[in-house]
Amino acid sequence: MFEALLFYTFSVLAVFAGAMVITRRNAASSAIALVASFFCLASMYAMLGAHFVAVIQILVYAGAIMVLFIFVIMVLNLREDNDPGWNLSPRAVLGAGVGGLVGLTVFVGASAARSATFMPADKLDPGFGTIEQIGYTLFSGRYLLPFEVVSALLTVAVVGAVVLAKKEL
Amino acid sequence: MSETMLTVILALVKCVFSVAFVMQIVPLLIWAERKGAAYIQDRPGPNRAHILGVRAGGLIHTLPDVFKLITKEDVVPSHVFRPLWALAPIISMSVALVTFSVVPWGDQILIPAEIAEKYLGTTGPLAVKLQVADIDGGLLYILAMTSLGVYGIMLAGWSSNNKFSLLGGLRSAAQMVSYELAMGMGVVAMFMTYGTTRLDEIMQIQAESILNWGVLLSPPVGVIAFVLFWVAAFAECNRNPFDLPEGEAELVAGYHTEYSSLRFALFFMAEYANMVVASSVTATLFFGGYNIPFVNGAMLRENIDLVLMAIGLGGGLFFLFATSVAYGRRKDPFYAAMDAFKGPRPNKLAPTSGLNGLLYRALHDDTLRQHEWKIFTAIWAGAALAHFGLIGLGAMKIASGMPLLTEIIVFVTQLNAFVVKVLFGCWMFIWVRWTLPRFRYDQLMDLGWKYMLPIGLVNILLAAVWLLIDANAMRLYAAIP
C-alpha cells in the first residue's frame, strides 16, 4: 500500500513536471521542471530496487548535464521575448504527429506487457541492482565491446568540440 | 503495530534525528565562526546580547540574530523572476540536509527481544540501523546530492536579474562543476580501496582497527584522496579561500544580493549546514566516523560498566576544569567595573508595570551580569557532580544488567566520538576562512583542473596498483601479522 502511494505520487509528479517542461515560456523554468521530472524517475528506479541507476540518473542528468544547460541559458540570457511563440507550421504538425504515434506505441506496448508474467520483487537475486552486479554485466563478456565503443565515441565528441571551438590549438 | 508501520515510523524518527543533528550544530557554528574570527583577529567578538545580563560568552547573540532575520521585512524586488527566485534558497537548504541521510551516526541499537515483542510487536529482537538510508552506492549518492547544491546558487544568481548576482552565479557554477571532478576522483580511489560503496560497510572495515581508517589505507592513496576531498569540500561549500561566488569586494554580495529576511537566512544556514555535512562525510570516509580509536562497539558492549566509569571520570574532570575556569572569572575586571557602575541613567519613558514593564526589564536589566560567574560555576559544578555520579553507577554494575541501557550508552558514546570529529572538521573550515586570503579566479581554475584533477587520476592508478599487488595488502592492519 505504502509503495503504491509513493509510486502514484511520483508518477503524477513526473508527468506534471514533464508537461511543465514543454509549456513554460521561460527556458530556465523548463530546465528546472526537467530536473524535477528526472528526480521522480530516479525515485521510481529506487523503488524498483535499481539504486545504482537511480543515483546515476541524478548524478549524471540532474547534477551534470542540466547544470550545463542552465549555464548556457544564463550566459545566453534567453528571455521570453526571444520566444517565437506558438506557430502551427507543417513541421510542427508533423512533429506532434510522430510524437503522438511514439507515445501511442509505448502505451500499447506497456498495456500488452501487463498481461505478461512479472517477476515479484522477493524472487530477485539479493544482489540485484547493486554496483557489483552491474559491473559484472557491463565488463564481462557481452557488453564489454559496446561499452568501450561508447566511451570512445564520447571521447571523439569531446575532442571534436574542442577542435571546433578553438581555431588554433 | 504492523511491520510496515514500524518501518515507516522508524524511518520518520531517523529523518527527524538527522535533520535535527545538522540544524542543531548550525547556530553553534555561527557562534564559533564569530568567536573564532574574533580570536584570530585579537578582539573580543560578540558579547553584548544578554538575557538578564547572562551573556554566555556570546552564545546568546545567535538568538536575537534569528529573531531579527525572522521578523525583518521580506523584500521581493520587482525585477526578479519570482518562481525560481523563491525556489533557490529552498533548494540550497534542502540539498544540504538530504545529503546527510546516508551518513551513519552510530553502529546499531539492538532492542532486546522481550522489550521489542512487548512494545513494538516484532518477533524476536529488533536491530535499528543508525542511518536513514543504507543504500547501495551511498558514496555515489553523496556525490549526486552535492552536485545539486549548485542549482540553488545558480538559480538565485540568474533569477535576481542583476549583473552582480548573475556573475556570482556563473562563477559558482563553473567552480562547483570543476571541483566536483576532483572530489569524485578522490572518492573513486577510496571506494576502490574499500571495495564497497556502502557507507555502513565502510564503517565496519574502519571499526577493525585505527590502521584501517581511510587516511591510512594503502598509503599514500588515502592521504591524497583525503586532501583532494577536503579541498574540494571547501570549494563545494563556497567557503574561503573559494568564496568567489559572493566575493563582496567585486560582486556586492554575489548571488544573494537581492535576498532579505528568512530567504537570506536560508542561504546563510545552508552554508553552515553544508559545512556540517562535508565534515561528517569526511569523518565517515577518512577518520572512522563514529568509531573510537582502539575501542570498537563489541568491546564497548562487553565492558559497559567500565565504559560508564570512564565517561564519568573523563566528563567529571572536564567539567571540573570548566568549573574552575568559570570560578576564576569572578576576578574579571569587567565585574568590578560593573559593581562600580550604578547602571545607566533611568529612562523616564520606560514602562514600569504590566507585561511591557516585565519585557523592558528582561531586555534592559543588566543586574544579573555581576552574578554570571556564579551561575556558570553552579552549572558546571552540577555537570561535574552528575558525571562523578556515573562512576558510582558504573561501579554498581547497573548497565551490564540492562541490555537496552547498554545499547543506549554505546550509542551515546559513539555519537559523541562522531560529533567530536565533525566539530573539529567544522572548526577547520572556520580556521582556514580567517587565515587564508581569497584565490583569484584564474588561480582557482588552475588549481582545480591543472593540479587536483591530474593528481586524482594518478591516485586512482595508485589505488589500482595496490589492488593488483594484493586485495588485502592495502590494509596495514591485515598486513601486520
Q: What is the DSSP string of A62-115?
A: IIIIHHHHHHHHHHHT--GGG-------HHHHHHHHHHHHHHHHHHHHHHHHHH
CB contact under 8 A, B147 and A63: yes
Q: Rounded CA gap, B91 and A129, in Å?
A: 29
Identify which of A46, A59, A75 has the shortest CB distance to residue B140. A59
Instruction: Identify the CA nearest to B197 among candidates A133, A45, A130, A39.
Output: A130
Inter-residue contact B240 to B436 (CB < 8 Å): yes
Q: Rounded CA gap, B437 and B432, in Å?
A: 9
CB contact under 8 A, A32 and B143: no
Instruction: Identify the CA nearest to B152 among candidates B6, B68, B273, B320.
Output: B273
Say which amino acid occupies B387.
H
CB contact under 8 A, A26 and B154: no
Block means of pLDDT (10 residues each) for chain B, 481 residues, are 78 89 89 89 80 76 86 84 87 89 84 76 77 82 86 85 82 84 88 84 82 82 91 86 72 78 87 90 88 80 82 89 86 67 65 76 67 84 89 78 81 89 92 86 86 92 83 52 39
Cα radius of gyration (chain A): 20
pLDDT value of residue A162? 87
User: Which set of grid coordinates corresponds to residue B137?
Assistant: 552506492
State mean pLDDT over A44-64: 86
Identify which of A29, A59, A130 has the shortest CB distance to residue B84. A29
Q: Which residues of B touch A62 (CB under 8 A)?
A: 144, 147-148
Cβ-based interface (< 8 Å): residues of A facing B: 1-2, 26, 28-29, 32, 35, 46, 51-52, 55-56, 58-59, 62-64, 67-68, 70-71, 73-75, 129-131
What DSSP state is assigned to residue B116? I
Inter-residue contact A4 to A45 (CB < 8 Å): no
pLDDT value of residue B1? 61
Inter-residue contact B162 to B434 (CB < 8 Å): no
User: Which set of grid coordinates corresponds to residue B271?
Assistant: 552554508
Which CATH number is A1-80 given?
1.20.120.1200
Residue of A nearest to B160 (CA): A74
CA distances from residue B320 to A90, B385, B408 in whole angstroms, order as listed: 85, 9, 25
CB contact under 8 A, B144 and A32: no
Domain locations in chain B as residue ranges: 69-291+402-479
B261: left (phi over 0), alpha (psi -120 to 50) or beta: left
Q: Which residues of A touch B154 (CB under 8 A)?
A: 67, 70-71, 74
Domain locations in chain A as residue ranges: 1-80, 126-169
Q: Rounded CA gap, B476 and B481, in Å?
A: 10
Inter-residue contact B380 to B326 (CB < 8 Å): yes
Q: Rounded CA gap, B329 and B335, in Å?
A: 9
User: Higher pLDDT residue, A114 or B55?
Assistant: B55
User: Higher pLDDT residue, A27 or B459?
Assistant: B459
Instruction: Identify the CA nearest to B61 among candidates B33, B39, B25, B42.
Output: B33
Q: Rounded CA gap, B108 and B296, in Å?
A: 13
Say which amino acid occupies B328.
G
HSE, side-chain direction, 13 A CA sphere, residue A115: 4
Residue of A nearest to B95 (CA): A63
Q: Which residues of A touch B83 (CB under 8 A)?
A: 29
Question: Is ipTM strictly over 0.90?
Answer: no
Q: Rounded CA gap, B22 and B274, in Å?
A: 9
Q: Rounded CA gap, B231 and B154, in Å?
A: 21
Residue of A nearest to B148 (CA): A63
Q: Rounded CA gap, A71 and B55, in Å?
A: 46
User: Which set of grid coordinates corresponds to residue B264?
Assistant: 537570506
Q: Rounded CA gap, B130 and B289, in Å?
A: 12
pLDDT value of residue B366? 64
pLDDT value of residue B422? 92
Alpha helix positions (H), B131-247: 138-159, 163-194, 199-207, 221-236
pLDDT value of residue B363? 67
In the structure, what pLDDT confidence band is assigned to residue A135 with cuts at 50, 70 and 90? confident
Cα radius of gyration (chain B): 25
Map grid coordinates 578522490 to a residue. Answer: B186
Interface test with B, best of A53, A61, A71, A162 (most B CBs within 10 A): A71
> Containing H/E element for B111?
strand B108-111
pLDDT value of residue B479? 45
What is the three-class DSSP state of B108? Answer: strand
Residues with Cβ within 8 Å of residue A32, at least 6 apart in sequence: A70, B84, B87, B151, B155
Q: Rounded CA gap, B176 and B172, in Å?
A: 6
Residue of B nearest to A72 (CA): B170
pLDDT value of residue B143? 86
Sign of the alpha-carbon dihedral angle for B37, B39, B44, B46: positive
Q: Which residues of A touch B158 (CB under 8 A)?
A: 28, 70, 73-74
CA distance B94 to chain A (A): 14
Q: Rounded CA gap, B240 and B238, in Å?
A: 7
